[in-house]
Structure 1
């Protein structure tokens, strides 16, 4: 049994583990190996804990848990995407490889979309690495509309991200 719920401070080590392990599994061969090996559970846990401890942090963090955290998603205001009609953003969504394909990503996505609708957001976007075909397929299956792309630098190399947009009031997942 998996439960989707708002994250608590005690979930931070599990969130960090999911993030680091999923990045290493998903982006090997896409981003520099040194960057992936430089990711640490402690560093990511510190980052998420800082957000959850800050009363004015605009993020909303959800976890999928089944005795331990097996996935998570963070939502919040758009972080200067260049698409002014999109006021909300899915900042990140990761599910451990062994738990993928079981509907957890969709459930995390839906929970965040419901919250953003309740906060009066009409549209949300998500950025995904252009080479992450699995992630892109996931967002396309959810009805995401390709909005554009941008170049980023990650681990000292230039990569491309693509943005997918979602109408929070018109789409049903």
Structure 2
């Protein structure tokens, strides 16, 4: 049975595993080889350990579990770039390939939107790497609109992104 819950520090290894696997699968044709070398499981483990230790009340990390297996992850927080304006930023949303198409991503996204609303945000947005048409289609099907584009300054790979947003957070919560 699928359960969406708040991530705990004890989940960090499974979160890093999902992030690494899904990111590598999705970005295979989009990211340069140097990004694949640098963004390995150890990098993701350090990233998520730090994220889960951060006590920023605007940040929220959710996981989707089936049994005791993490099959999806998501995170929301303060906007990282001016293009997001006053919208909360969905920082991560990954669902294992074999579990996609079952509504798991939608449920995680709704959980993140509910947390953003509880933190005082009225809208949310996220960046999608240019060329990731599957993700773009997923967000558009949920009512997201293109807001603009930006270059993610990421510490390793500076990806070009299309920003999608929901100007009314209720669009995701209904």
Gap regions ≥5 residues in structure 2: none
**TM-score w.r.t. structure 1 length?**
0.89
* Pair 1:81-2:89 in alignment: no
**TM-score w.r.t. structure 2 length?**
0.89
CA shift, 1:103, in A, is 0.5
Deviations 1:11-48 (CA, angstroms, capped at 9, x unpaired): 11111011111111101121112321332222211221
The answer on whether the counterparts of 1:75 and 1:90 sit within 8 Å (CA) in structure 2 is yes
Indicate the residue corresponding to 2:31 in structure 1.
31
CA shift, 1:58, in A, is 4.1
The answer on whether the counterparts of 2:110 and 2:172 sit within 8 Å (CA) in structure 1 is no
Which stretch of structure 1 is more off in the superposition, 92-101 or 32-41?
32-41
- Closer/same/farther in 2, CA of residues 105 and 37 from structure 1, 3 Å limit: same
Which stretch of structure 1 is more off in the superposition, 152-161 or 5-14?
152-161
Which stretch of structure 1 is more off in the superposition, 95-104 or 162-171?
162-171
The answer on whether the counterparts of 2:129 and 2:161 sit within 8 Å (CA) in structure 1 is yes
The answer on whether the counterparts of 2:127 and 2:163 sit within 8 Å (CA) in structure 1 is yes
Count of residue correspondences? 172
Indicate the residue corresponding to 1:132 in structure 2.
132
- 1:131 match: secondary structure: coil
Indicate the residue corresponding to 1:168 in structure 2.
169
Matches within 5 A, 1:39-54: 39-54=39-54
What RMSD, in angstroms, separates the aligned Cα atoms of the two structures?
2.1
Which stretch of structure 1 is more off in the superposition, 127-136 or 51-60?
51-60
| Separation of aligned partners in 1, 2:153 and 2:124 | 23
Deviations 1:45-85 (CA, angstroms, capped at 9, x unpaired): 1221122223347420000011211110000111123242x
The answer on whether the counterparts of 1:22 and 1:96 sit within 8 Å (CA) in structure 2 is yes
Indicate the residue corresponding to 1:2 in structure 2.
2
Gap regions ≥5 residues in structure 1: none
| Separation of aligned partners in 2, 1:159 and 1:72 | 21
